[in-house]
Amino acid sequence: MQVVALHEGVIVARSAKWQTTCTLLHSGEETFVVDSVIYPDELDALPGLLAQAGWGLSGLLATHGDWDHLLARLVFADASLGVAETTAARLRAEPGDAARKLRDQDAEDYVQRPRPLSLGQVQALPVPGRLELGDDAELELIPADGHTVDGMAIWAPFARVLCVGDYLSPVEIPWLHAGRDAYLATLRRLAPYVEQADWVVPGHGAPLDAQRALAILREDVAYLEALPGAPLPLARRAGMGQIHAENVAQTTAGGPAS
């Protein structure tokens, strides 16, 4: 696991698996943990990161309902878990799905965990909306569907940091699960935040400065608009053949790929 501080109130941990990111946002006396790393030793290190920074945990946030973004619950079992209303609806409609997918992936990776994933109580947050962080800061919650049917991005203006979930990845091309139009709408919605950000934290990959994030955003828009005949983005071709094939199938069929 790699750990980097982007601001006096922002720490990002990046998993060895899929470069999945977990972001700690802190202001005043409050700290939110956004998304999660994956492996048990990485998760077990998160309380130590908080302690080393002198931060107390206020709650968990997840940008969307994919299982690899929900695992902080395994180490912070009693913390509240805040998600977009769309994600709360998805989790209600798919009871146990995240736990099953984690179990299947762990079996493939030979990973053993002390307990199964249980999400417990989930707090549905209105998106678009705002969430207080400490006495004098707040987070802006931005709708972010298209990769999945649910989700939100999180803008921390006090630190000029934008957590975008599974968008703007330097290691992964766009992956359509809820339609090209919705994905493109999210990219355009994110653009003004990216322009004013010091750092953009993708769900997979190292944090990006605004210039690099904007370049990826433009590249992703061009790729999606050119589907089904789009070439793979030059810097993200490796290992993306299956995702690209699913994107092509979805846009050709005019609906979500199975």
Domains of the chain: 2-253 (3.60.15.10)
pLDDT in tens, the chain (258 residues): 999 999 999 999 999 999 999 999 999 999 999 999 999 999 999 999 999 999 999 999 999 999 999 999 999 999 999 999 999 999 999 999 999 999 999 999 999 999 999 998 899 999 999 999 988 899 999 999 999 999 999 999 999 999 999 999 999 999 998 889 999 999 999 999 999 999 999 999 999 999 999 999 999 999 999 999 888 888 888 888 899 999 899 888 754 433
Q: How many other CB atoms are there within 10 angstroms of residue 214's CB atom? A: 17
Please say whether the beta carbons of 47 and 15 come within 8 A: no
CA distance 196 to 81: 28
pLDDT of 179 reads: 86
Predicted pLDDT at 254:
57
Q: Give the per-residue pLDDT at 256.
A: 43
Contacts of residue 77, Cβ cutoff 8 Å, sequence gap at least 6: 118, 120
Which H or E run includes 210? helix 210-226
pLDDT of residue 257: 39
- The C-alpha atoms of residue 35 and residue 154 are separated, in whole angstroms, by 11
Which amino acid is located at 218 in the chain?
A: R
The predicted structure's pLDDT at residue 153: 98
